[in-house]
Amino acid sequence: MLAKVLSFALSGLTGFPVLVEVDVYKGLPAYETVGLPDAAVKESKERVRSAINNSGFEYPVRRITVNLAPADLRKEGPLYDLPIAVGLLCASGQAEKDYLKKLVMFGELSLNGDVRPVSGVLPMVIDAYEKGYRYVVLPAENAREASYVAGMKIIPVKNLSEVAAILNKKIQPQVFENQNVSPAPGQQKYDVDFADIKGQAHAKRAMEIAAAGGHNVLLVGSPGTGKSMLARAIPGILPDMNFAEALEVTKIHSVAGELKNSQDGIIYRRPFRSPHHSSTSVALMGGGSRIMPGEISLAHNGVLFLDELPEFSRDAREALRQPMEDGVVSISRANAKVTYPSNFMLVASMNPCPCGYFGSPDRKCKCSPTQISNYINKISGPFLDRMDMNVEMSNIKYDEMTSRAAGERSADVKKRVNAARAVQRERYAELPIHCNAQLNAATLKKYVKVGKEAQEFLKNVFEKLKLSPRSYVRILMVSRTIADLAGSGDVLLEHIAEAVQYRTLDRKYWGVSYE
């Protein structure tokens, strides 16, 4: 007898329907799975057998063929355990098939018949809804995550017997209702508040500008000046995500399996990802045999923090350039090509020199000028080009750090950031961009109006400080953001003068060589 159960699979962030066909027929007892299953799908045979036996059903001692259609796409992961088990029960006459046409089903089984959570539920449920399905049977732990798809009836299940009982109409399916469908955005808690950071007003101001204009930042400073803490505080001053953005973030985290057992449901918190500097380019970009999102996609709509930037492998650093430009990352492997979104704000930090104390007033730096310039020049010019701001941390003494009064709270800074973002959205309404960091040479000319006096000043700055040509565009972009924060329509001399402050690596004492 044949039974067909509907399930879903993922390619990147898009789901596609998979029909699980189970045929039980006469012959020597055997079990075969076809339809490009990976190892985890093949292994489901053992889990399914034990789960059926331990749930009080009878495992059919006959010839069994399981087909996953369409047969030309690779199926990965343990989420077909439940559909296969249900198919077996239906095909062997232990459960009724009436509901099967309407239901989408997935879930991993444990040997005693319990249903376990799987990853990638949210994007699959979204696409199931778009394809016209209205009922989904899934592990109880995944119910919250799926419940944000309005209109979808979620039927959470705890074990195989429960599914069988529903199919046999012995119990009424309980549709999951999320009590808390719209978590209030803006109520998110972040690790570090701006008020927690003592001193470093210069760098904090730079962070505010970076957040307001979506600029990438490189922090340069001695150990212990608070670079990491500052980076951790940034998500807290970025504008709140809207529903679409939050949904996208949640999808990515769902695919990466980071939502299992989570109570969060949809993610409204801006992600903060801080991969270790030993991370490979695959860890950052995404990949693996099942192509999973990497750190840059997990940081989508949030902050990617690269601590100790020069310690990252050259490969890893250079691989970042393309996704930074495009906002998406495409990963090609022999069997598939997947695209994940990767629109993140890059915050990187580095020491000023190999020993870390160049410029420190109370510790002596042991490095020669050549060592310093070699260290800084590890970061390639094109990479530096993508960092709009490079900010030098001030060295502060310990007593100064503790004696200072608390600074502004993140919430207050965020208000100004939100206002500046609103100005930018309005200005770029007819363009496909939404913040100053996305300007290019052509749009810059059109939207960044610089007065004559300011233009003259900028020219002098270039000659005197011997700035590299590439910093020209960056300074104008950042000046535009400073002007937006100040509520000024035109970019004035004072805005340009402040923007020059955030180009420390152009200073000659670093010995940065520009070609």
Partner 1 sequence: MCPMNDIDAAERYWVWLSSIDGVFAKWFYILQSFYIEPQKVWEHAGDILSDIPRFPPQVAGAVLKARNDGYMNILFDSIEKKGLNVTTAVSADYPYSLHDLPDPPPVLYYKGILPDIWERSVSIVGTRRPTRNGEKFAREIASEIAAQDVLVVSGMARGIDTAAHEGALDAKGATIAVLGCSAETVYPKENRALYDRIKENGAVLSEFRPDTPPIAENFPQRNRIIAAISGATIVSEGGVKSGARITADLALSLGRQVFAIPCDPKSEVSALPISLLKSGASLLSETADLMEAMDWKPHIRKNKKENKKNLSLDFFQERIYNSLLKGDLTPEQLSDRLKVPIGSVGSALTIMEMMDVVERMPGNLYSIK
Interface residue with partner 1 among 310, 495, 505, 506 (CB under 8 A) is 495
Of the pair 164, 475, the CB lying nearest partner 1 is at 475
Interface residue with partner 1 among 359, 421, 437, 512 (CB under 8 A) is 359
Q: Inter-axis angle of helices 452-465 and 493-501, to 10 degrees?
A: 30
CA geometry: angle 459, 462, 464, nearest 5 deg: 105
**How near is the Cβ of 494 to partner 1 at its closest, in Å?**
4
**How near is the Cβ of 413 to partner 1 at its closest, in Å?**
12
Interface residue with partner 1 among 16, 311, 507, 514 (CB under 8 A) is 507
- Helices (DSSP H) in 155-264: which residue ranges? 160-167, 201-213, 227-233, 243-255
How far are the Cα atoms of 129, 133, 139, 327, 438 from residue 150, in angstroms, in the given order? 9, 12, 18, 28, 33
**How near is the Cβ of 480 to partner 1 at its closest, in Å?**
14
In the chain, how many H helices and how many E strands? 20, 18
Our finding on whether 356 is near partner 1 (CB under 8 A) is no
Our finding on whether 49 is near partner 1 (CB under 8 A) is no
Which phi and psi (to 5°) does residue 350 adopt? -155, 160
Q: Inter-axis angle of helices 201-213 and 410-427, to 10 degrees?
A: 40
Our finding on whether 368 is near partner 1 (CB under 8 A) is yes
Please give the DSSP secondary-structure letter assigned to residue 433: -
State the Cα–Cα distance between residues 340 and 296, nearest whole angstrom.
9
Stretch that binds partner 1, among 111-119, 136-144, 336-344, 490-498 (CB under 8 A): 490-498
Q: Is residue 303 a contact partner of residue 344, using CB atoms and an 8 Å limit?
A: yes
Interface residue with partner 1 among 66, 211, 345, 500 (CB under 8 A) is 500
Considering only residues 161 to 200 of the shown chain, the ones binding partner 1 according to CB under 8 A are: 199-200
Our finding on whether 409 is near partner 1 (CB under 8 A) is no
Q: Is residue 199 a contact partner of residue 306, using CB atoms and an 8 Å limit?
A: no
Of the pair 369, 451, the CB lying nearest partner 1 is at 369
Of the pair 34, 201, the CB lying nearest partner 1 is at 201
Strand partners, 450: 491
Residue whose tokens read 């490979």: 280
**How near is the Cβ of 226 to partner 1 at its closest, in Å?**
12
Our finding on whether 202 is near partner 1 (CB under 8 A) is yes
Considering only residues 206 to 265 of the shown chain, the ones binding partner 1 according to CB under 8 A are: 222
x/- binding map, residues 385-404, to partner 1, per CB under 8 A?
-------xxxxx-------x
**How near is the Cβ of 227 to partner 1 at its closest, in Å?**
13
* Structure tokens belonging to residue 456: 């003259």
Our finding on whether 457 is near partner 1 (CB under 8 A) is yes
CA geometry: angle 212, 500, 367, nearest 5 deg: 110
State the Cα–Cα distance between residues 413 and 415, nearest whole angstrom.
5
**How near is the Cβ of 144 to partner 1 at its closest, in Å?**
43
- DSSP one-letter string for 262-323: -S--S--SPPEE---TT--HHHHHEETTTTEE-HHHHTTTSEEEETTGGGS-HHHHHHTHHH
Stretch that binds partner 1, among 82-90, 327-335, 414-422, 489-497 (CB under 8 A): 489-497
Our finding on whether 501 is near partner 1 (CB under 8 A) is yes
Size of the site for partner 1 (CB under 8 A): 40
Q: Give the residues lining the site for partner 1 (CB under 8 A).
A: 199-202, 204-205, 222, 352, 358-361, 364, 368-370, 373, 392-396, 404, 457, 460-461, 464-465, 482, 493-495, 497-498, 500-501, 504, 507, 509, 511
